[in-house]
Chains A and B, each alone.
Chain A
């Protein structure tokens, strides 16, 4: 617990001592902010036109700010996460291996699990800041419209869980190589695959369809974006997180075995 705390503090400090955290957090905010503006502006134009043109209104069904702004916004955030989180996790072990600091870290009286959890929590901290910076957009929606806060809260909860799965996968990839680029590419590829595998599900049909859907990151987020917290979705993200944290531990251990 103690070691976990010290490693967490060190991770956070080194994220902010280097420009990494600032760049990643800023780019994340700029991208999501830009898409938020697009969605929100489009929505307000449509609402405005619908006032004068009833046909248009019926075309869109109910003009619901939660469904037409908040939900797509969460979708956009999850896509930007897909791109930005590997940039955050790629350094976690690769950098230590390359710089040789791993040699000292592994000879300190620290359990592998404590080191991994410390690094995981460090990334989660930065990720929480990233998510937190998108909350003002939600407040903007509240000022001009009437969103359902229940959906917003479950949406953020879902994003947080999804992010933890992304981060643990990224940390695992980083534990495999001392090259940060390779770590980033591997985690991006794996995340993208798991993200998109649901799209091809309908082609497979039958049992495979269910399996592919269940395996996809995207599929499990749908309920969260609707305001529904389904235990099976929560378990999916938690399982992925734990699986890759466990694999990272194995990866560090194998380093000890093979030398």
Chain B
């Protein structure tokens, strides 16, 4: 649905993005992850035909963004990061205006706008001017304008930035609900968000693609399970000694010292080795009760930090 090849954009000598290549299938939700200034917005602006690329090509829904910009723009809904709206218009008036420009048939405009306002939870704000709305509601209006013509492709730049936790959850579930039929690209620097919503993640930094994969695979690739948390009932010192003797264990740390008999330990294994079974065996051999044995998953945050701090994947 979206194919990007060797896309490069320079701003008067400075690199915006550098040789980015990726593709998104129909119905997929793709997350763009990267620190501020990494080139997320630039990529999105090229995909939405707001600005041209310096070199490389991008195709959206089969149309080239440069050669066939008008056709691309018919197929997309775009929510820019700053959510620029006409503050002097009322919500339904604005949405009818956008629906009109986005070629919703004249007779369906009113119905479409009502439906979309209900979908994003704006119905009770119908009489308000956009300038009077809070950030969260403006975000919804922004989302509504992107959705109003029922586009195949949605491009959302930081859709949950500046919202309160409740609104974030609402907007997230809204976006997730939109996936399936629509192809969605969204950017964020909130990491758990991306892993929650998207099926695939692109990590970019300094204008370059650092990694593309599913959130799970990214974690696997990075040997995400090299830590294990265990709670074992037994004399603290002897348990710790026994654990340290296991093959491949680099370090054992007492993380939960209850003062009693059941204590928590964090075991760190050398790269890629999963020693869960060894921990269980050790507990059995020592005739200690094993209460918990949890591989500690590396969060996307850890992966992100690793990739961005130049550790090769």
Comparing A101-109, A140-148, A192-200, the segment that makes contact with chain B is A101-109
Q: Which residues of A contact B248 (CB under 8 A)?
A: none
Does chain B have a CB within 8 A of A31?
no
A10 to B88, CA, bound (A): 10
Q: Which residues of A contact B208 (CB under 8 A)?
A: none
- Name the distance in Å between B1's Cβ and chain A's nearest Cβ: 17
Q: Which residues of B contact A99 (CB under 8 A)?
A: 84, 86-87
Q: Which residues of A contact B93 (CB under 8 A)?
A: 13
**Number of interface residues, chain A, beta carbon within 8 A:** 26
Mask, B40-62, CB within 8 Å of A = 1, is: 00000100111110000000000
State whether B103 touches A104 (Cβ < 8 A): no
**Number of interface residues, chain B, beta carbon within 8 A:** 30
Q: Which residues of B contact A5 (CB under 8 A)?
A: 100
> DSSP majority for the A interface?
helix
Known contacts A109-B103, A256-B52; is-contact A104 B84 (Cβ 8 Å) = yes
Most chain B C-beta atoms within 10 Å of own C-beta, residue among A5, A10, A111, A256: A10
A109 to B88, CA, bound (A): 22
- Name the distance in Å between B104's Cβ and chain A's nearest Cβ: 11
Q: Which residues of B contact A259 (CB under 8 A)?
A: 9, 11, 45, 50-52
Q: Which residues of A contact B84 (CB under 8 A)?
A: 99-104
Does chain A have a CB within 8 A of B225?
no
Q: Which residues of A contact B11 (CB under 8 A)?
A: 259
**B10-63 contacts to A (CB < 8 Å):** 11, 45, 48-52
Q: Which residues of B contact A13 (CB under 8 A)?
A: 89, 93
Q: Which residues of A contact B51 (CB under 8 A)?
A: 256, 259
Partner of A107 from the list B50, B85, B89 (CB cut-off 8 Å) is B50
Does chain B have a CB within 8 A of A149?
no
**A92-144 contacts to B (CB < 8 Å):** 99-104, 106-111
Known contacts A101-B85, A259-B52; is-contact A6 B78 (Cβ 8 Å) = no
State whether B100 touches A107 (Cβ < 8 A): no
Known contacts A13-B89, A14-B88, A101-B84; is-contact A107 B49 (Cβ 8 Å) = yes
The interface of chain A, by Cβ under 8 A from chain B, is 2-3, 5-7, 9-10, 13-14, 17-18, 99-104, 106-111, 256-257, 259
Question: Which 8 pairs across A and B sit closest by C-beta, in order of nearness?
Answer: A259-B51, A100-B84, A6-B100, A109-B73, A17-B88, A101-B84, A107-B48, A109-B74
Given A10-B89, A106-B50, A111-B70, output 18 extra A-B contacts at Cβ < 8 Å.
Answer: A5-B100, A9-B97, A10-B86, A10-B97, A13-B93, A14-B86, A17-B89, A101-B85, A103-B82, A107-B49, A107-B76, A107-B78, A109-B73, A109-B101, A256-B51, A257-B52, A259-B9, A259-B52
